[in-house]
Structure 1
């Protein structure tokens, strides 16, 4: 990514000869600071969300009600000067309510396609697991291929196209389990978690004084986001780091506690997320610690426990922790 390309993306404001790595860090920090205003006390969740965002992947936020899942998704959307739509998933939601449908125009005598809310740069799928599996599956094609097919005709969605979905834990009433194929479309799955006492106190004081949540303004354009996603894809990955990821995937496939290990798609997702994390750290290359940091968020929802391990209360996070502790890490000299 040359400085001339950067200057074209930024409308000349970056200046000729600007360092792309420094520019990425500057824009990244601007978005991170903006989003953090809406999610106080959760820097790790914000950082992982941005890792997914600038990797060009889809994000699943899973947690109990009231901890800020929707606030995080809305803050991401508000930070980018791009089109975005919010879909509230309910049991009576139909697939056409997401993708759109053909409508007969009496004046012209032909059917016209009316695009649904999926046609936006950023789609907020709120409480996605409250809709039926049939409706959830309407997102499969558009999340993977960035297009919608209606009556045999395909319609591309805007680029970049990112889905940020929230869901409640599956043991809560009125929820459906997302199928494995749907889960696999999400690059990362993260949890927000409860804030600590100090963070919750600050939230309460700020809301009591101001009455409303902070109103965020966009700090990045669509063109800048496209550039940043392209920049992340060029972060250097050595053969040693790639083999390290492959060995992690192989170890999950051979673990007796798992019925389903990481697929090659999961390995690709782990590399892409590690590239994004490294870029956020200001580095132009991936190190094993980047892989370890994002491994649970990338692979946790892609692994399926065996029945015996499930009954024993084993978690996929426990399996991944063991795997990362046993797979040998490449030497520092081999990762640059």
Structure 2
């Protein structure tokens, strides 16, 4: 009979057990805290996005809304959209408006943030309250108010121009021509976006060390040189985030353009990409083409954000 070799169980190290439990706690706790946000994102963003992508590959119109089966058409919707001259016209118009609005918003927001660093406590509070009121006003409400300001018969702008120039501006329509229409739209969009840029840039400016600025001033650096070589590098990441967000928001602007068109704009000559998607999807009932345009817009936004994401990854690795 062969002798059985008995191996005694190896006792676990009492010091490693707490470490394993602590490691599991470090992994599980962040996931538990993130779970509600991830669930909300999946339900309210992820699932509609998946539905939109699937719809963009289908012939999806009014019959499908009422239960008719949707036919899979492959890339036909994308081909129809990309070969449509109106789509490229609307996209170019949207990009031009976006560039104008983002440039004005970033410049004016940064100037206001710099001004707030020089103001006393009382005046800074007054400016902050004014910015908050502008920021808190819904886009649709702001557009209606600005529509009254530029009203053809009783608008404040026409009255002021009449008083300043001596020429009767009563009856002049600011929304009937595309150029003046988008000028008014750019003013409204910029006015509503400046507070976010100003507050965020001001928060970044408060993190610039005063000692470094004072040392540069003692060395003979002027205000512009201090801003360019010291302040800008410190808040570069903040400005980059603001720039990306403003491009995304202004590229897909909808409420202001749609409201101005309702007030008096010529819809065919003033559509931007957001309104164009709505028109294609709802007015014509072609939800498949609308989904294809939406997916193309999402891809464009991802490409715009790619530079910032790549820069963040490089900073994390360094």
TM-score (norm 1): 0.24
Structure with the higher helix share, 1 or 2: 2
Of structures 1 and 2, the one with the larger relative CO (CA 8 A, separation 6+) is 2
Larger radius of gyration: 2
